Amino acid sequence: MSTDPVARLRVMAAGLGAALYAEELIALPYEQVWAVASDLAGELPHLVPLLREFRLEPGDTERGTAVAVGPLGTRDAFEVRLSPGWCLMQSGLIVGGMAAVREGDGTRFAVLGATRPSALRPVQRMYAPLLGRRRGRAFLRTVEQRARLRAN
């Protein structure tokens, strides 16, 4: 098994047939990029358009639970795995993940979004070419912008 978090996320995206997967080299230090990605409660609502709030339950920061709140107040419970360079969030319907590794002077960063029920796979396959790639690139751009803002 690869210890490279980005490679692991890439394999997960392929296995899940993820509707959203994007990866790129961000020209910022790893610490700066991962500070944004790992601040789930503070930053995830800025990164995910249909997320109003992401509340992490108190306790273990590496293996925890969270509640995602949508713009209309809908809620979904998530199991969260968070460690340096790796974040995996899973509910009964959704799998989301982020990964980062140092690469030269920058950071290779990846994001994934997929549905869990196999009944939704056809919708997921249609979404990927229509909006998934664009949404993934927008996510990466926003991570970079938020990381630059934190540095100033």
- How many domains are contained in the chain? 1
Global pTM value: 0.89
- Which of 26-35, 119-128, 132-141 is modeled with the greatest confidence? 26-35
| Local confidence band at 93 (pLDDT 50, 70, 90 cut-offs) | confident
Q: Please report how many Cα atoms fall inside a 13 Å half-sphere around the Cα of residue 56, on the Cβ side.
A: 19
pLDDT for res 116: 75
Judged against a pLDDT cut of 60, whether residue 123 lies above it is answered with no
What DSSP line would sit under 38-78, residue for residue? H-HHHHHHHHSTT-SEEEEPSS-SSEEEEEEE-TTS-EEEE
Domain boundaries, position 123: 5-151
**Could you tell me the CATH number of the domain that includes residue 16?**
3.30.530.20
Judged against a pLDDT cut of 70, whether residue 104 lies above it is answered with yes
